[in-house]
């Protein structure tokens, strides 16, 4: 197999990699997108041509070196091309979360001072027009989907393919300038600017150079021996650093094909059709898929259920060992093969994981049972630990050394250091240049020697040499009694239950721990249907007594398992509330990457938090909600405050309630 990784002094920018790929892999697929029911394909040489004509078009529009170009859309080849075309003319692409409300978008566009934007459709065009008054520097917009835009004033609005057309006809005029701009790019020029989702405060623009992206892509591609034959499905937000590394950095470095789904709703069907060999998903996606499998198994016939349970038990016992090349008896191996024929194979195929060679999860801790489930099926799922500021990679789990409670060893070229207070620091070629227009934050995150503070507390596991992350450094607190309070650890235990979508645990500086819980509408809804429990809304289902009982059961089980851990026995959840609404990024309760914002939640639901600690049984509350189109409304409900039994650990006494 020919590897694409001959280190070359000339390969110092994404456009340079594109030029190489267009020559080396000319007729191999670079992008696929399902449209009109079939997979449309662009080879590397076609891709180079598309990007070239767009770059010429951008010059024709007057894009200048150093401009920022916002990219707002879901994963489609056109937007990946736009990013590379922007780089070709010396501009900086800034992908933006396309589901952000106009307000959030205004902040980003204003902060980076974008003069141009490439957007998906009418919805995004409208959003940008809405905020245009606040963006004095903003000039022109390019859209991909013309639908509904015919009547718009087209003096500052351009259709993507028409712009390419204009670029092609102006080739003679701009070709020299384009070549000059492209040749000027080097390792230190900016590759992309990505806004961190920000669990606290305003998003920060992380400037990543070509060195950052290419070095990170190169070493990580080598780590997992990625080749031009990989297939990936690009479905994670384009504004997220992971997608940029996987779908641009690694794809251009290794020369593999990026597949774009037809629409967000068809993601799972498309995943199955493509059968990626290299796959990344946040724990949430794996959780959701497992929940779906479990729901469907509950509906299956008795024999099928028995078959599933029998072989899954076996897989859990020997599957991970077989994957890691451990010693497993011949009989167990045989049985595993049979299981593969009856259960694992078909299941993997249904999930779209039939061909996965390397799979990663990151972003949040994954429930051990979820992780083991996929490993047991024979899917090489591993964990990595990364950050936007590191161009993703800080630590990775090598094949054969996969554990559910660690995040692996330092990635190639990364140095790790644990500070006195337990905070993890790293230094590597991937370390970001700066936060745009924010020298204070840059200085407080990155020191003069290039060490970056992760904001996470962790330690190096003595047995394995792997890094273990405990929690966000600022979230780890102390309870009133002085014991360590690690909310995320407890939340993850709760979230493993399919019925629980989200949990937020409180207890810092308090006598005892309490929690807010979000039910999973899918799982609980299905259960309600099978048990003839009628409900009209999320709110009604969440407030149902039987649901409360089920959740209480889960909380008590978690308490029991916490009681076994002397370090965390005091983090047992004494009282909890099942929330009447789903925590949502539109309401600012979560980040766009779906991490809970503790500060916002405890302020917003202050009354509920009070009720958790003042011993009341019920509380009436009104909450403001933001709809997808930005309008606001409110919902009110009377919520029950439930108590859960706590288990007294054998060794120590728990403060009585």
| Locus of tokens 């005029």 | 173
Binding of another protein at residue 36 (CB under 8 A)?
A: yes
Asked if 98 and 72 touch (Cβ cutoff 8 Å), the reply is yes
Q: At what angle do helices 302-323 and 283-298 cross, to 10 degrees?
A: 150
Q: Nearest Cα to 184, choosing from 16, 67, 69, 21?
A: 16
Q: How far is the CB of 582 from another protein (least distance, A)?
A: 17
Q: How far is the CB of 158 from another protein (least distance, A)?
A: 19
Q: How far is the CB of 288 from another protein (least distance, A)?
A: 16
Residues facing residue 502 across a β-bridge: 518
Q: How far is the CB of 143 from another protein (least distance, A)?
A: 15
Binding of another protein at residue 40 (CB under 8 A)?
A: no
Q: How far is the CB of 35 from another protein (least distance, A)?
A: 7
Query: Considering beta carbons, is residue 35 or 179 the nearer one to another protein?
Result: 35
Q: How far is the CB of 273 from another protein (least distance, A)?
A: 12
How many residues touch another protein (CB under 8 A)? 13
CA angle 348, 351, 354 (to 5 degrees): 40
- Rounded distance between C-alpha atoms, residue 386 and residue 424, angstroms: 12
Query: Considering beta carbons, is residue 269 or 341 the nearer one to another protein?
Result: 269
Q: How far is the CB of 453 from another protein (least distance, A)?
A: 43
- Rounded distance between C-alpha atoms, residue 334 and residue 328, angstroms: 10
From candidates 9, 147, 302, 653, binder to another protein by CB under 8 A: 147
Q: Quick one: which segment of 29-37, 80-88, 288-296, 586-594 binds another protein (CB under 8 A)?
A: 29-37
Asked if 451 and 236 touch (Cβ cutoff 8 Å), the reply is no
Q: How far is the CB of 38 from another protein (least distance, A)?
A: 8
Query: Considering beta carbons, is residue 151 or 650 the nearer one to another protein?
Result: 151
Half-sphere exposure of 616 (CA within 13 A, CB side): 14
Query: Considering beta carbons, is residue 122 or 464 the nearer one to another protein?
Result: 122
Q: How far is the CB of 121 from another protein (least distance, A)?
A: 11
Residue 469 sits at φ, ψ, to 5 deg, of: -100, 130
Residues 6+ away with beta carbon under 8 Å from 587? 604, 624, 625, 626
Query: Considering beta carbons, is residue 131 or 267 the nearer one to another protein?
Result: 267
Residue 403 sits at φ, ψ, to 5 deg, of: -135, 150
Query: Considering beta carbons, is residue 268 or 316 the nearer one to another protein?
Result: 268
Binding of another protein at residue 631 (CB under 8 A)?
A: no
Query: Considering beta carbons, is residue 46 or 273 the nearer one to another protein?
Result: 273
Binding mask 106-135 for another protein (x = CB under 8 A): ------------------------------
Residues facing residue 424 across a β-bridge: 418
Q: How far is the CB of 497 from another protein (least distance, A)?
A: 28
Residues 6+ away with beta carbon under 8 Å from 175? 56
Q: Quick one: which segment of 30-38, 195-203, 236-244, 441-449 binds another protein (CB under 8 A)?
A: 30-38
For residue 397, what are its two tokens? 């789990």
Residues 6+ away with beta carbon under 8 Å from 199? 472, 591, 595, 596, 597, 598
Query: Considering beta carbons, is residue 114 or 144 the nearer one to another protein?
Result: 144
Q: How far is the CB of 279 from another protein (least distance, A)?
A: 21
Query: Considering beta carbons, is residue 288 or 392 the nearer one to another protein?
Result: 288
Phi-psi region of 572 (alpha: psi -120 to 50; beta: other; left: phi over 0): beta
Asked if 553 and 642 touch (Cβ cutoff 8 Å), the reply is no
Q: How far is the CB of 151 from another protein (least distance, A)?
A: 6
Strand locations in 163-309 (E): 190-195, 205-209, 231-233, 257-260, 278-280
Q: Nearest Cα to 575, choosing from 559, 599, 598?
A: 559
CA angle 102, 106, 107 (to 5 degrees): 125
Q: Quick one: which segment of 94-102, 142-150, 495-503, 592-600 binds another protein (CB under 8 A)?
A: 142-150
Q: How far is the CB of 98 from another protein (least distance, A)?
A: 15
Q: How far is the CB of 285 from another protein (least distance, A)?
A: 17
Query: Considering beta carbons, is residue 38 or 419 the nearer one to another protein?
Result: 38
Considering only residues 249 to 268 of the shown chain, the ones binding another protein according to CB under 8 A are: 262-263, 265-266
Binding mask 67-96 for another protein (x = CB under 8 A): ------------------------------
| DSSP structure class, residue 654 | P
Query: Considering beta carbons, is residue 607 or 628 the nearer one to another protein?
Result: 628
Query: Considering beta carbons, is residue 148 or 201 the nearer one to another protein?
Result: 148
Q: Strands 434-435, 29-35: parallel, antiparallel or unpaired by DSSP?
A: unpaired
Cα dist. 137→94, 140, 499 in Å? 15, 10, 48
Query: Considering beta carbons, is residue 295 or 342 the nearer one to another protein?
Result: 295
Q: How far is the CB of 283 from another protein (least distance, A)?
A: 24
Query: Considering beta carbons, is residue 148 or 610 the nearer one to another protein?
Result: 148
Considering only residues 552 to 591 of the shown chain, the ones binding another protein according to CB under 8 A are: none
Q: How far is the CB of 490 from another protein (least distance, A)?
A: 36
Asked if 571 and 476 touch (Cβ cutoff 8 Å), the reply is no
Binding of another protein at residue 150 (CB under 8 A)?
A: yes
Query: Considering beta carbons, is residue 152 or 223 the nearer one to another protein?
Result: 152
Asked if 539 and 622 touch (Cβ cutoff 8 Å), the reply is no
Binding of another protein at residue 299 (CB under 8 A)?
A: no
- Rounded distance between C-alpha atoms, residue 329 and residue 326, angstroms: 10
Query: Considering beta carbons, is residue 269 or 655 the nearer one to another protein?
Result: 269
Binding of another protein at residue 148 (CB under 8 A)?
A: yes
- Rounded distance between C-alpha atoms, residue 57 and residue 598, angstroms: 45
Residues facing residue 68 across a β-bridge: 92
Binding of another protein at residue 137 (CB under 8 A)?
A: no
From candidates 7, 9, 10, 151, binder to another protein by CB under 8 A: 151
Residues 6+ away with beta carbon under 8 Å from 261? 33, 34, 75, 233, 234, 235, 267, 270, 271
Q: Quick one: which segment of 35-43, 299-307, 398-406, 446-454 binds another protein (CB under 8 A)?
A: 35-43
Q: Quick one: which segment of 74-82, 148-156, 552-560, 617-625 binds another protein (CB under 8 A)?
A: 148-156
Asked if 641 and 612 touch (Cβ cutoff 8 Å), the reply is yes
From candidates 180, 269, 334, 546, binder to another protein by CB under 8 A: 269
From candidates 2, 8, 35, 183, binder to another protein by CB under 8 A: 35
Give exposure, 576-608, as e/b (b: 16+ Cβ within 10 Å). Answer: bbbbbbbbebbbbbbbbbebbbbebbeebbeeb
Q: How far is the CB of 528 from another protein (least distance, A)?
A: 18
Residues 6+ away with beta carbon under 8 Å from 309? none
Q: Which residues of the chain form contacts with another protein (CB under 8 A)?
A: 35-38, 147-148, 150-151, 262-263, 265-266, 269
């Amino acid at each position: 197999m020919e590897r694409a990784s001959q280190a070359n002094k000339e390969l110092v920018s994404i456009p340079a990699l594109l030029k190489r790929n267009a020559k080396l892999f000319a007729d191999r697929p670079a992008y696929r997108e399902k449209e009109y029911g079939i997979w449309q394909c662009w080879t590397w040489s076609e891709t180079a041509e598309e990007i070239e004509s767009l770059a010429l078009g951008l010059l024709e529009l007057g894009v200048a070196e150093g401009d920022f170009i916002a990219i707002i859309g879901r994963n489609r080849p056109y937007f990946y091309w736009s990013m590379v075309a922007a780089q070709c003319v010396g501009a900086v692409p800034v992908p933006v979360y396309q589901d952000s409300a106009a307000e959030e978008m205004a902040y980003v566009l204003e902060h980076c001072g974008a003069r141009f934007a490439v957007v998906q459709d009418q919805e995004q065009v409208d959003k940008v027009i809405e905020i245009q008054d606040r963006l004095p520097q903003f000039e022109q917009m390019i859209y991909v989907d013309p639908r509904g835009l015919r009547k718009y004033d087209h003096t500052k609005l351009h259709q993507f393919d028409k712009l390419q057309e204009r670029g092609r006809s102006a080739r003679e005029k701009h070709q020299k300038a384009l070549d000059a701009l492209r040749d000027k790019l080097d390792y230190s020029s900016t590759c992309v600017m990505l806004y961190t989702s920000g669990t606290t405060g305003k998003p920060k623009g992380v400037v990543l150079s070509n060195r950052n992206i290419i070095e990170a892509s190169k070493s990580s591609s080598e780590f997992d021996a990625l080749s031009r034959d990989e297939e990936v499905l690009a479905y994670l937000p384009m504004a997220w650093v992971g997608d940029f590394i996987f779908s641009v950095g690694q794809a251009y470095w290794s020369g593999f094909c990026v597949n774009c789904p037809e629409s967000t709703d068809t993601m799972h069907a498309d995943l199955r059709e493509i059968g990626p060999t290299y796959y990344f998903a946040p724990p949430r996606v794996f959780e959701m898929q497992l929940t779906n499998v479990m729901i469907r198994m509950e509906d299956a016939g008795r024999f099928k259920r028995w078959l599933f349970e029998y072989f899954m038990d076996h897989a859990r016992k020997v599957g991970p060992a077989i994957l890691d090349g451990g010693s497993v008896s011949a009989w167990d191996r045989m049985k595993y093969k049979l299981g593969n024929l009856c259960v694992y194979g078909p299941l993997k195929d249904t999930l779209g994981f039939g061909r996965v060679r390397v799979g990663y999860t990151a972003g949040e801790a994954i429930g051990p049972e979820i992780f083991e489930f996929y490993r047991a099926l024979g899917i090489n799922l591993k964990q990595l630990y990364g950050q936007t500021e590191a161009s993703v990679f800080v630590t990775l789990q090598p094949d054969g050394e996969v554990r559910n409670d660690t995040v692996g060893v330092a990635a190639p070229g990364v140095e790790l250091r644990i500070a006195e207070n337990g905070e993890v620091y790293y230094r590597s070629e991937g370390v970001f240049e700066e936060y745009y227009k924010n020298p204070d934050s840059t200085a407080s995150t990155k020191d003069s020697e290039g060490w970056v503070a992760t904001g996470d507390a962790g330690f190096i596991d003595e047995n394995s040499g792997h890094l273990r992350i405990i929690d966000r450094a600022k979230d780890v607190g102390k309870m009133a009694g002085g014991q360590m309070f690690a909310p995320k650890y407890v939340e993850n235990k709760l979230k493993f239950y399919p019925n629980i979508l989200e949990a937020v645990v409180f207890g810092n500086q308090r006598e005892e721990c309490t929690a807010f819980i979000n039910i999973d509408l899918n799982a609980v809804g299905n259960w309600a249907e099978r048990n003839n429990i009628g409900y009209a809304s999320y709110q009604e289902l969440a407030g149902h007594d039987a649901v409360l009982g089920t959740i209480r059961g889960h909380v008590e089980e978690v308490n029991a398992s916490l009681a076994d851990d002397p370090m965390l026995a005091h983090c047992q959840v004494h009282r909890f509330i099942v929330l009447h609404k789903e925590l949502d990024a539109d309401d600012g309760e979560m980040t766009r990457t779906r991490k809970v914002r503790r500060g916002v939640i405890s302020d917003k639901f202050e009354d509920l938090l009070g009720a958790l600690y003042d011993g009341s049984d019920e509380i009436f509350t009104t909450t403001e909600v933001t709809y997808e189109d930005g309008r606001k409304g409110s919902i009110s409900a009377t919520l029950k405050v439930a108590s859960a039994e706590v288990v007294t650990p054998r060794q120590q006494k728990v403060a009585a309630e």
